[in-house]
Structure 1
Amino acid sequence: MKKMLALLLAVCLTASFAACGAPSGNKGGKAYGGTDGGGTAGEPNGSAAKDEKADASSDASEDSKGKEIEISLWTYPVGNWGNPVVVAGLISDFMQKYPKILVSVKYLDYISGDEEIARAVEAGEAPDLVLEGPERLVAGWGNDGLMADLSDLWEEDGISDKIYENVRSACRHRSGEYYEFPICMTTHCMAINYEMFEEAGALQYIDEKNRTWTTEDFAEAVKALKAHGQEKVGIVYCGGQGGDQGTRALVNNLYGGTFTDPEHKEYTIDSAENIRALEFLRELDGISFEPDMVGENEISMFAGGELAMAFCWNVSMEISQTAMNPERAFDIFPMSFPTDDGTPNLQGGIWGFGAFDNGDEERLEAAKTFIRYMTGNEAQYVKSVQTALYWPVCEMDDIYVNDDIMREYSIFTKYLGDYYQVTPGWAQARTAWWHMLQDVGKGEPVDAAVKTFVETADGAAKAALEK
């Protein structure tokens, strides 16, 4: 249980750091740094505090000459960017330098977040900033013409000229415009209940050193766990798109399938490899298709000891689940997805800021100022990345010195596969994916289900390419 103790210590340190910044805010509420009780210890709150901060900084003094500008940040739960306490601290720091830019925050989830954004767009009330990934910012809202071009940020000196080329490519729309400025990246994986595997004699089927296993060994492990009395070993959740990176990676890896072609123009789920994988999962006793569950449900069940494995996982989830389940009595052991040749291709994640084009140049410039602050110098950039609990998008010295947990998960970066989430029609493809999984789970012939998926996804891709 050394790992559990290390995680709890990390959580405590994070909470202590956050507590020094600002108090917790409510979901959907405002989190103005320096206001609403958000002053740093020993400092007054409200406008008086802002005036003092403005006098203390030449940048802030210049900013204080103008009028106040309010911008909105909507953030998906990317590590502690979904934690109101931590985010309020970051905003409080930002407002020490820019006291006239007021930032309100709304905290989204992956169950209803997209619908909330859609309603806001329809009502003409889209947020100024969104923290998410290229699949939404570039391939989704960007392709729909809703996002502001951030190319000027990419042309400035600083972090931008060091960003990995594959990350840069994912943030750039095929038209050449940049609709995202990235903060962090990770490699998604899966996880197992180590003690449950040990008791069932299933540890023999995994390569503990490299965190890999074959499809055949995966099947043997499931059988061993089932025989040991574990009724639900793992679930293929398909009640929505939340956590679908896990089910996509599971299906693609089992027999070497892909989700799209290398050029990211069409979808390839109807390949023989993917059909075989779906049939394999449906027939494997101990793996069940759950049409009323999403990744969040699976994570809760796994962390609660109800499942032997989770397909929706990464380092951020382990840290957050440890904080929420301090009494957990087993070790979580992260693994890559099983493959027929033992060499996994894992799904990557990239997160950063995008700005909706709301037709207000002052608000857009204020939003860019916020992005510059969070990413423009190395010290603040490191803090932004560490808040996400992921890794930098450029070459840097180790930012997690002596952090056993981050070092444990860093092994998966070498298995990073194609970042195909920027394929046109991505939003429609994600919806079609979980509908397809539901059909497979209900017993529909797999070849018919994947055919319907590809027709829907390719149709959306073609329409998007014609825009």
Structure 2
Amino acid sequence: MKKPLALTLAVSMALSLTACGGNSAQTTATTKAPETKAEPATETEATSGGGGDSSEISLWTYPIGKWGDQATVDALLAEFNKEHPEIKVKVEYLTYADGDDKVNTAIEGKTAPDIIMEGPERLVANWGAKGVMADISDLWTDEVKADTLASVESACKNSDGVYYEYPLCMTAHCMAINRDAFEKAGAWQYVDEKTHTWSTENFLKAVQTMYDAGYTNVGAVYCGGQGGDQGTRALINNMYGGTYTNADHTAYTADSPENIKALEALVAQDGINFDPAIQGGDEVQLFVQGVLQMAFCWNIAQETNNADALTFDAFPMAFPTESGDPALCGGIWGFGVFDNGDAGKMESAKTFIKWACDENTEEAVKASTYWSTRKSLANMYEGDELKTEYGEFMQYMGDYYQVVPGWATARTEWWNMLQKVGAGEDVTESVNTFVTNANAAATN
């Protein structure tokens, strides 16, 4: 068992946590939504003289980039109202700390919003599965399907083919290394600078080289909670080609020999420490401070949000693989419509969604700070060096498996499993317990 980073955590707690410490299954948007105010919602109203009956609809959005920023959303709605003055949109900004509770309470009280903005793990696997979302399959024309990445389309519908989400944007989660320290220690030789990739063998060699150069805390398998768990899942699944779920997204498969081999390799590797005192957000801050030399909870939001604090070149990397074909976890965000029994409101909601995702796509995507789910807009950030660099990771996007039943239980079981492995419990025994408990939740 490796020495934990609990002593260094005290330093990091003085800094604010990043999105890797959030509660979303793939919450990487780090622009914070406004906290609770005296007025819970803002409203952009239709101008007069639009003709026809006005329709007031509500939009609740999680902090997905600047979709969590009132000024940005107000500007978008002002543009929307130029084309659709007959529709009023009231917006409430949710946080990941209590957003789910607010939505669930609203559902129970029959006051759910007309539109909700988040990812498939909520819109499809949670509320869609509970039967409270409207079927929006009519938005998915053949043209839209042809222009949408297959993995994204698959995530937006249930096993019966019913679509509950219309996607807008996406990002790929990656890892990062301290390039300056790697070069100083002689570990840079193991990195493919052009493709931002490395083999599992070279990853382990690099960590050992860093450790031998005096960096005892090279990387941390953080397991203090579920925050940022997409990073530890991707690390372990990628190393030897393991999977987290089956292809049908009906069962958990993390007990594969490949995943067990990966965990055993991490436990045995000098410089890799299993730390139950920290979550993803803490790991990011320890990396930014130079305490850790790599971060597994990383994406472009982490670099931009910590730009002023970084004193070294944070070089983004795909997770190490034996096959040379990384499969990164990703975030998908878009819109869903709650079935509130009002056909007129649901049609108005679809009008807004089509405006944002089909007619004003580039501006709406840029407000998210991420990338479009449309193939035709793959180069929308051309000329932006940082966006272009991180955009290269889109090609490595793997299966979006966060729609498996029992997801909430599986997330808890995952970090509990990592804690047990780090404490010295037999890896196979720990992983088998994880899969047994997660699959029990998936079938209930």
Q: TM-score, normalised by structure 2?
A: 0.83
Report the AA paired with residue 66 of structure 1: D
Residue 364 of structure 2 corresponds to residue 384 of structure 1 = yes
Give the one of 47, 71, 77 matched to 1:85: 71
Tell which deviates more after alignment, 182-191 or 358-367: 358-367
Report the AA paired with residue 289 of structure 1: F
Alpha-carbon distance in 1 for matches of 2:194, 2:183: 16
**1:396-438: CA deviations, max 9, x gaps?**
1521121111221232233222222233333332232222222
| Contact 1:136/1:427, CA 8 A, preserved across alignment | no
Q: 1:385 to 1:160 in 2, by over 3 A?
A: farther
Q: 1:238 to 1:146 in 2, by over 3 A?
A: farther
Deviation at 1:120, TM superposition (A): 4.1
Alpha-carbon distance in 1 for matches of 2:441, 2:33: 39
Deviation at 1:337, TM superposition (A): 0.5
Residue number in structure 2 paired with 1:42: none
Residue 189 of structure 2 corresponds to residue 204 of structure 1 = yes
Map residues 166-315 of structure 1 onto 2, 5 A cutoff: 166-315=151-300
Higher helix share: 1
Q: 1:443 to 1:82 in 2, by over 3 A?
A: farther
Residue number in structure 2 paired with 1:18: none
Q: 1:229 to 1:119 in 2, by over 3 A?
A: farther
| Other structure's SS at 1:420 match | coil
Query: Which has the bigger relative contact order, CA under 8 A and spacing at least 6?
Result: 2
Deviation at 1:158, TM superposition (A): 6.9
| Contact 1:212/1:335, CA 8 A, preserved across alignment | yes
Map residues 137-152 of structure 1 onto 2, 5 A cutoff: 137-152=123-138
Alpha-carbon distance in 2 for matches of 1:446, 1:134: 31
Residue number in structure 1 paired with 2:91: 104
Residue 314 of structure 2 corresponds to residue 332 of structure 1 = yes
Identity of aligned residues (%): 47
| Contact 2:152/2:332, CA 8 A, preserved across alignment | yes
Deviation at 1:253, TM superposition (A): 0.9
Q: 1:172 to 1:298 in 2, by over 3 A?
A: same
Report the AA paired with residue 242 of structure 2: G
Report the AA paired with residue 72 of structure 1: L
Alpha-carbon distance in 2 for matches of 1:226, 1:201: 11
Map residues 407-418 of structure 1 onto 2, 5 A cutoff: 407-418=388-399
| Contact 2:115/2:335, CA 8 A, preserved across alignment | yes
Alpha-carbon distance in 2 for matches of 1:118, 1:434: 25
Residue number in structure 2 paired with 1:352: 334
Alpha-carbon distance in 1 for matches of 2:302, 2:168: 18
Deviation at 1:360, TM superposition (A): 4.0
| Other structure's SS at 1:246 match | helix
Report the AA paired with residue 197 of structure 1: F
Map residues 306-455 of structure 1 onto 2, 5 A cutoff: 306-322=291-307, 326-377=308-359, 380-397=360-377, 398-455=379-436
Alpha-carbon distance in 2 for matches of 1:27, 1:94: 25
| Other structure's SS at 2:60 match | strand
Residue number in structure 1 paired with 2:116: 130
Alpha-carbon distance in 2 for matches of 1:127, 1:278: 43
| Contact 1:25/1:88, CA 8 A, preserved across alignment | no
Residue number in structure 1 paired with 2:35: 27
Alpha-carbon distance in 2 for matches of 1:84, 1:231: 44
| Contact 1:137/1:180, CA 8 A, preserved across alignment | yes
Alpha-carbon distance in 2 for matches of 1:79, 1:454: 33
Alpha-carbon distance in 2 for matches of 1:359, 1:282: 54
Count of equivalent residues: 409
Task: List alignment gaps of at least 5 residues for structure 2.
Answer: 1-31
Q: 1:120 to 1:346 in 2, by over 3 A?
A: same
Task: List alignment gaps of at least 5 residues for structure 1.
Answer: 1-23, 35-46, 56-60
Alpha-carbon distance in 2 for matches of 1:293, 1:456: 23
Deviation at 1:274, TM superposition (A): 0.7
Report the AA paired with residue 144 of structure 1: K
Report the AA paired with residue 402 of structure 2: Q
Deviation at 1:161, TM superposition (A): 5.6
Alpha-carbon distance in 1 for matches of 2:78, 2:282: 33
Give the one of 63, 73, 82 matched to 2:60: 73
Deviation at 1:68, TM superposition (A): 5.5
Report the AA paired with residue 409 of structure 1: Y
Map residues 105-120 of structure 1 onto 2, 5 A cutoff: 105-109=92-96, 112-120=98-106
Residue number in structure 2 paired with 1:12: none
Deviation at 1:333, TM superposition (A): 0.7
Report the AA paired with residue 398 of structure 2: G
Residue number in structure 1 paired with 2:28: none
Alpha-carbon distance in 2 for matches of 1:338, 1:248: 12
Report the AA paired with residue 77 of structure 2: I
Deviation at 1:270, TM superposition (A): 0.8
Give the RMSD, CA atoms, in angstroms.
2.6
Report the AA paired with residue 101 of structure 1: K
| Other structure's SS at 1:142 match | coil
